[in-house]
Copies of this chain bind each other. A is one copy, B any other.
Amino acid sequence: MDLLSLDNPVFRVYVIAASLAILKMIGHAFLTVYRMMHGHSGFLNPEDLRKTPLNPQPDAQQIAPNDYVERARRMHRNEGENTPLFLAAGLLFVAAAPPLWLAVVLLYGYVAMRLAHAYAYLSERDHEVRATFFTLGVVAIAVMSVYALAAALSH
């Protein structure tokens, strides 16, 4: 059987988890945009201070850092440090023909940990809470990578 095909139940789990992870990261881009538009602040580019339909009352302060927007940007950046690795590690892992239960744990586990991480980050939970969910997500990526590495070396 072709492992990288929807006929393979493990690949289906990968496609579901990967598409959810992609949509979540897109959500982070739009959270940042929403917070910029809502507060009319936290802009990055000088040209965004022009008077336009989306910015009817420009003000030089709009380009100053603003923690309401910066928090959304930090969340987005953290996602960008993890999710592209997850998307690739998941594919390598599927190609190594893992058991379905392990794929379910690691692939859905990553998505669940990133949802929990976003909740902890948005609600400003203690560093320990955020770091725990971050670490568990990274562990899922690392286990999948080591699994694929071992399979390729022993094939």
Contacts and interface: CB of A to CB of B under 8 A. Distances in A.
A11 B151 CA distance: 12
Interface in A23-56: 23, 25-26, 29-30, 33, 43-48, 50, 52-55
Q: Say whether chain A's binding surface is mostly helix, strand, loop, or mixed.
A: helix
Copies of this chain in the oligomer: 3
Given A50-B127, A95-B5, A81 B80 contact: yes
Interface in A84-112: 84-85, 87-89, 91-92, 95-96
A125 B151 CA distance: 37
Chain A, interface size category, equals: 35 or more
A80 to B, nearest CB: 6
Contacts of A46: 67, 124
A6 B96 CA distance: 7
Interface of A: 2-7, 11-12, 15-16, 18-20, 22-23, 25-26, 29-30, 33, 43-48, 50, 52-55, 67, 71, 74, 76, 80-85, 87-89, 91-92, 95-96, 121, 124-128, 130-131, 138, 141-142, 145-146, 148-149, 151-153, 155
